[in-house]
Amino acid sequence: MVEALRVDRTGPRVALVPHEVVSEGVCLIGDFVLESGVRLGKVEVGYQLTGPKGAPAVAVLGGISASRFAATTTAGSRGWWGDQIGPGRALDTDKYRVLCWDFLGGNGQTTGARSLGFAGRSFPDITTVDQAHLLAALLDHLGIGKLHAFIGASYGGMVALQFAACLPELVGRLVVISAAHRSAPMAVAWRTLQRQLVEQSLVSGDGSAGLALARTLAMATYRTPEEFSQRFGQATEVPSNDPDRSSVWAYLSARGAAYIEHMHPRAFLCLSRSIDLHQLQPKKISVPLQLVAVNQDQLVPAALIEELASAVVSPCQIQRLDSLYGHDAFLKETGFFNALFAAL
């Protein structure tokens, strides 16, 4: 059920003396069983919780490359959503407790490809249902009874939708950016090709080389043709003595080289596959839902998000955004997302 966009400023507020509190740590969850039936036993969850105790809690999650460090803190650590989260910012950590954590099966402190026992072999398939139940266990550990809101972008938006579908009693509202109830077929095709590059490189003993190539391909799907034209001009410079070394390739290969510095190839495989495994019935979404669709997004077309909006039964607001940055808009369009989060 889609309604006209409106700003709701009636959410819970707590009278607080502005004082940022940052809690970082590892939560230990015992006997964690995946949706597939695989038993992981003990699972560690790396998290960051920023904001005063007793304030409304807001969970935030980004794409598969994002870490638990979403917030900018007064200690000087700048988060990947640092322009939006921090003292006095749109998601004001003097008023909210902002929670972010590392994905299960991923690249951070949460149990994943780097963990003891999984080095050199594939991590079990992880679904967004598994990520949702991991969050429920983390909330219980932190003593947070219910989230005021869950803001998710890209894969994080898929997790947010699944969390609301599985555990609606634990969240008040959703803000979902560039994510839907299923993956688009063309996006599945691109990601499958990326995983094949990594898999073949792992077989040859150099998974990082395949991951770098996968990242170069991914960058061409995240951004738009218009952004590339603006960045490189209409006539791309190609050296006559090496036609494969264009300015476009120099940019893409630099992104690939930077990516392998912090992403583990098997963590990438696990989370990329999790995106393609994601699916849910929109009718299971019963909490208020704010959707953001980027018109130029090649990975999550606006039409797919509109399909989700038309099928949910909860109050649903949808905004469409024009951005040269396509799927990466949630990391680049600071003004738009500041306004969106400030209305939470």
All domains in the chain, ordered by first residue: 22-184+281-342 (3.40.50.1820), 186-273 (1.10.1740.110)
Q: Any idea what the Cα angle at residue 109 is, between residues 159 and 267, rounded to 5°? A: 65
**pLDDT of 235 strictly over 80:** no
Confidence (pLDDT) at 23: 86
Q: How does pLDDT run across 189-227, given as a tens digit for each residue? A: 999 999 999 999 999 999 999 999 999 999 999 999 999
Q: Which residue type is seen at 10? A: T
| Helix-then-strand count for the chain, H and E | 10, 10
Q: What is the rounded distance in angstroms from the CA atom of residue 312 to the CA atom of residue 102?
A: 28
- DSSP β-bridge partners for residue 99: 49, 59
Confidence (pLDDT) at 118: 76
H or E element, residue 291 = strand 289-294
- DSSP β-bridge partners for residue 232: none
How many CB atoms lie under 10 A from the CB of residue 235?
6
pLDDT band at 293 (very low <50, low <70, confident <90, very high): very high
Residues 6+ apart with CB under 8 A from 106: 64, 112, 113, 267, 270, 271
Question: 54 in helix, strand or coil?
Answer: coil
> Which residues participate in catalysis according to the annotation?
154, 297, 327
Mean pLDDT (whole number) for 87-94: 94
- For the entire predicted model, the pTM comes to 0.91
Q: What is the rounded distance in angstroms from the CA atom of residue 301 to the CA atom of residue 178?
A: 8
**pLDDT of 108 strictly over 70:** yes
Question: 195 in helix, strand or coil?
Answer: helix
Q: How does pLDDT run across 111-170, given as a tens digit for each residue? A: 998 887 776 678 999 999 999 999 999 999 999 999 999 999 999 999 999 999 999 999
Tokens of 320: 């469409």
